Amino acid sequence: MEEQMKKMYTLYPYPNYDSKHDKYAPIPAQYSPFSFLEQISHYLYNGKKNFNNFRVLVAGCGIGGDVVSLGFLLKEYKGSNILAIDISPESLRITKERIKLYNLDNIEVREMSLLDINPKDFGYFDFIVCIGVLHHLEYPQSGLNKLRQVLKPDGGMYIMVYGEIGRTGVYQMQDLLNIVNKNTNNFANKIINFKNIYSILPSSNLLKKTENVIRDHNTGDNGIVDELLNLQDRAYTVSELYKFVKSVGMNIVEFSPMDRYKYKFSIPNIDYKNISEIEKYSINELFFGDICKHSIYISNRINTIALIDDLDNIMIYNFILK
């Protein structure tokens, strides 16, 4: 399956890349004024992390958006470096092009699977980024465990996996496409079939109804393949996500962004005192119905978030709806 996935992402690297967005930007497009480094320090290091000699692994780097953003942020810190890996040579070609454009010399790029990462050959990392990759593995738990094995004991990760509830419309469309495409293995033909179906979709279709949060199918052929024609795809509910992370001995520190999960509302005759935190998050996931991705900070440790009563801390707070 991995070889088939490699061929797919070589033909259709994700996401779509338009070099003009980089060429006219003085800093990487994904760079945020709320520094990713400050969030890392806040959530994973009690707000006290020094980023000199900081080692980062970007596992499944795609076309390098997170790579160049982190490289740009870390270039001021002595000895910091990034290892970016991916199975798609075309994605890595684009990543290298972007690294060169921003004149970043703190990044190493390798064509390899995250399943081949090991401490003997690559050492240990302070921080691991794995966005949109684990849910495309045949055995996601094995992938997460591989990453944990190269994480320093006090390190942490930022991962994103699909949210099952919010992607209901996606999976209905995948089922439809599996039927109409049963006699073809050609991606070009499958893409044409989707476009023909999409052109006549009624407004009642769930994919149409969730286009405010799921829109890759409107970004071009590469987005259609990744979202609807992917060879390997699974998603998680909140409760499944906690079990997934716990299965490799790690802990969920925080969702990012957290607003939908921690939205506060009351249901008459419901005693919230007897409902666990995870159950409250699950209620919100079902209540909103459109959480299509779970992005989380995870750690080997507990109590890693900066405390508000420690004035030495560097803190980043997400907005929580009241």
Render pLDDT for 104-147 as a digit per residue (tens, 0 to 9): 999 999 999 999 999 999 999 999 999 999 999 999 999 999 99
Q: Which of 211, 228, 245 is the last residue of a domain?
A: 228
**pLDDT of the residue at 272:** 81
| pLDDT value at 21 more than 50 | yes
Secondary structure (3-state) at 64:
coil
289 part of a folded domain: yes
77 touches 136 (CB < 8 A): no
Q: Are 27 and 69 contacting, i.e. CB atoms less than 8 angstroms apart? A: no
Buried b (16+ CB within 10 A) or exposed e, 108-133: ebeeebbbebeeeebeebbbbbbbbb
Q: What is the pLDDT of residue 195?
A: 98
Please give the Cα distance from 313 to 42 (Å, whole number): 8
**Domain membership flag for residue 203:** yes
Sheet of 125-131: strands edge to edge? 107-111, 81-86, 55-59, 125-131, 151-162, 293-299, 251-255
Would you say 69 and 28 are in contact if contact means Cβ atoms under 8 Å apart?
yes
Give 19's pLDDT tier (boundaries 50, 70, 90): confident
- Domain boundary among the residues 198, 228, 258 is at 228
Distance CA 153, CA 299 (A): 9
Task: Name residue, tokens 């476009």.
Answer: 195
Residue 121's Cβ-side half-sphere holds a number of Cα atoms within 13 Å equal to 8
| Statement to judge: residues 124 and 28 lie in one domain | yes
pLDDT reported for residue 319 = 44
Same domain (yes/no): 217, 292 = no
Q: Which is nearest to 217 in space by CA: 4, 205, 131?
A: 205
Beta bridge partners of residue 22, listed in sequence order: none
pLDDT for residue 234 is more than 60: yes
Partners of residue 131 on adjacent β-strands: 160
Domain co-membership, 32 together with 106: yes
Q: Which residues pair with 293 in a beta bridge?
A: 162
170/228 Cα distance (integer angstroms): 7
pLDDT tens digits, 275-320: 999 999 999 999 999 999 999 999 999 999 998 776 666 555 554 4
Identify whether residues 18 and 147 lie together within a single domain: yes
pLDDT at 159 over 60: yes
Name the residue type at position 132: G
| Cα distance between residue 310 and residue 64, in whole Å | 36
For residues 228-246, average pLDDT: 97
In a domain, 32, yes or no: yes
Q: Are 106 and 80 in contact, with CB atoms under 8 Å apart? A: yes
Report, as an integer, the average pLDDT of 198-218. Answer: 95
Structure token pair of residue 7:
């061929």
Cα separation values, 154 from 72, 81, 147, Å = 24, 18, 14
Out of 134-138, 266-270, 271-275, give the one with best mean pLDDT: 134-138
Provide the number of structural domains found in the chain: 2
Specify the pLDDT at position 271: 83
Over residues 197-201, the mean pLDDT reads 98
pLDDT score, position 122:
97
Q: Is residue 174 part of a domain?
A: yes
Do 45 and 193 fall within a single domain?
no
Domain that residue 124 falls in: 2-164+235-299
One domain, residues 7 and 128: yes
Query: What's the rounded Cα separation, in Å, for the pair 60 and 159?
Result: 11
Is 162:135 a contact under the CB 8 Å cutoff? Answer: yes
pLDDT at 321: 41
Q: Both 46 and 114 in a single domain?
A: yes
